[in-house]
Amino acid sequence: MVKSKVKKVAYLLGAGATQSELDNTGWGGRSVLMSVIKKPIHEQMLKNPEYKKISDNLNIPIADTDVEQMISLLDDLAELKSGVYPILANEFRRFFFHTILENLIKENVMAKPRNSRILLLLHKKYREFIDKGEKLAGILTVNFDSLVDQAFEDVYGSVNYGVRSESKNVKLNDRVPELLKLHGSFNWSAYSSEVLFVDPRLECNYGQDSKCLPPSVYKKSFLDLFPYKEVWRNARNLLENCDILRVIGCSLRKEDWPLISLIFSSQVVRKFSIELVLPEDRVADIENDLPFLGKIKEFSFTTKDVFLEWVNMKYDEVSDRNEKVKKDQELERILGVD
């Protein structure tokens, strides 16, 4: 009997993955989803009389207006040579970052990962029992938070950001699978144009000194800068050498066009499978909006918490094939109250 080839899998995690972690580790009632946080961000901005004047004049529906789109429009108004519009755009960005962090931190404690830890453990210890055998090539994420970073530390004892990094309190190791944070991170700052400094305490200071890609529909203009250039180069290499890209909780919004372009151009070089683990309504939207991504395999769920459903499904699949899984103390610790 010919043994099946182990497939190399890359994951792309979006805000839905972080939201799942919040909902399943005692942070329920808090949200990092753009559909939820855009209204309170706009409400904060309306306290600024300059923005309120724009909003009232144009009758902007705050509950339906995307934050990144509005920031980009205000950036464009800089051509009018008024200093107020760049100030408003930066204020929007500050409220955007602060709102996300405010929902991630409770009593000065950062939220903890559950699903990410289970996923990494299954790949590290039981990869031959996932489907027909899967090797974790790496994880891409558009999230700024450090929940997946924490999971790597817990499971692998270290993190590999794919760029030259230093840290006093996070163990770094380029021999573990890469965690490529495409939009930067709340726990990153920069020593120089060549070295990244990693410190979880940056998050609890609400990201004031964090190295994060400014929210904008014009992200590509920043991608030649450190550390994004290195991260995106490694992401392209990762995709061009994987068999499957599994997208979990990432809606592939048109505001993330550089990401969509990265996936498309990588597929031109090497055809890999794309698996969407998303709510069923969003799967249909992506297939209609992005037909050039080729054949897509769906893992749609009626529930919104697709990350939880996916991880539970994989845990059941692996435990059915290997009885040791249900006695694994590391997995028991995560599945229990820890």
Domain boundary among 65, 85, 106: 106
Question: Does the bond joining 258 to the residue before it have cis omega, within 30 degrees of 0?
Answer: no
- Return the percentage of the chain with pLDDT > 70, whole number: 97
| pLDDT at 125 > cutoff 50 | yes
HEC string for the chain: CCCCCCEEEEEEECHHHHHHHHHHCCCCCCCCCHHHHHHHHHHHHCCCHHHHHHHHHHCCCCCCCCHHHHHHHHHHHHHHCCCHHHHHHHHHHHHHHHHHHHHHEECCEECCCCHHHHHHHHHHHHHHHCCCCEEEEEEEECCCCCHHHHHHHHHHCCECCCCCEECCCCCECCCCCEEEECCEECCEEECCCCCEEECCHHHHCCCCCCEECCCCCCHHHHCCCCCHHHHHHHHHHHHCCCCEEEEECCCCCHHHHHHHHHHHHHHHHCCCEEEEECEHHHHHHHHHHCHHHCCEEECCECCCCHHHHHHHHHHHHHHHHCHHHHHCHHHHHHHCCC
Domain boundary residue, one of 106, 131, 159: 106
Closest CA to 137 of 230, 239, 263: 239
Statement: residue 300 has pLDDT above 80:
no
Amino acid 338: pLDDT = 42
Same domain? For 186 and 217 the reply is: yes
13 forms beta bridges with 141, 248
Q: How far apart are CA 92 and CA 222, in angstroms?
A: 18
| pLDDT tier, 289 (very low <50, low <70, confident <90, very high otherwise) | confident
Q: Are residues 153 and 102 in the same domain?
A: no
Residue 1 lies in a domain: no
222 and 296 within one domain: yes
Residue 115 lies inside a defined structural domain of this protein:
yes
Mean pLDDT check: name the lowest of 28-42, 79-93, 227-241: 79-93
Residues 116 and 69 in one domain: no
Confidence class for position 286, pLDDT limits 50, 70, 90: confident
79 and 196 part of one domain? no
Residue 310 has pLDDT above 60, yes or no: yes
> Does a structural domain hold residue 2?
no
What pLDDT, on a 0 to 100 scale, did the predictor assign at position 1? 40
State how beta strands 188-190 and 196-198 pair.
antiparallel
Give the tokens for residue 5: 């080839």
| Least confident range of 24-33, 36-45, 280-289, 293-302 | 293-302
Who contacts 177 (Cβ-Cβ below 8 Å, separation ≥6)?
136, 137, 138, 139, 152, 156, 160
Residue with tokens 């094939």: 321
pLDDT average, residue stretch 30-34: 93
Q: Is the domain of 83 the same as that of 210?
A: no
Q: Is 293 inside a domain boundary?
A: yes
CATH classification of the domain holding 214: 3.40.50.1220
Distance CA 82, CA 130 (A): 57
**Domain end call among 70, 91, 106:** 106
Per-residue burial over 192-208, b = 16 or more CB atoms within 10 Å of its CB, e = otherwise: eeeebbbbbebbbebbe
Provide the domain limits for residue 75.
Answer: 34-106
List, edge to edge, every strand of the sheet that includes 134-141. 178-181, 134-141, 7-13, 244-248, 273-277, 296-298
Specify the pLDDT at position 264.
Answer: 94
Judgement on whether residues 184 and 43 belong to the same structural domain of the protein:
no
Strands 105-106 and 109-110: antiparallel
Residues 213-230, mean pLDDT to the nearest whole number: 90
- Assess whether 147 and 218 both reside in one domain: yes
Tell me, what's the pLDDT at 3? Answer: 55
Does the pLDDT at position 287 exceed 90? no
Residues 270 and 205 in one domain: yes
Same domain, 91 and 230: no
- The total number of structural domains in the chain stands at 2
- For residue 140, pLDDT over 80 is answered with yes
Same domain for 128 and 70, yes or no, is: no
Q: Is residue 316 part of a domain?
A: yes
Q: What is the pLDDT of residue 194?
A: 87
CB 149 within 8 A of CB 158: no
- Do 187 and 243 lie in one domain? The reply is yes
**CB-based contact 199:135 (threshold 8 Å):** no
Structural contact between residues 307 and 249, judged by C-beta atoms closer than 8 angstroms? yes
Distance in angstroms (rounded) separating the CA atoms of residues 337 and 222: 42
pLDDT, tens digit, 9 for 90 and up, residues 104-123 = 998 888 999 999 999 999 99
Domain presence at residue 79:
yes
Q: Which residue has the tokens 């890209």?
A: 245
Work out the percent of the chain whose per-residue pLDDT is above 90: 69
Question: What's the pTM?
Answer: 0.94
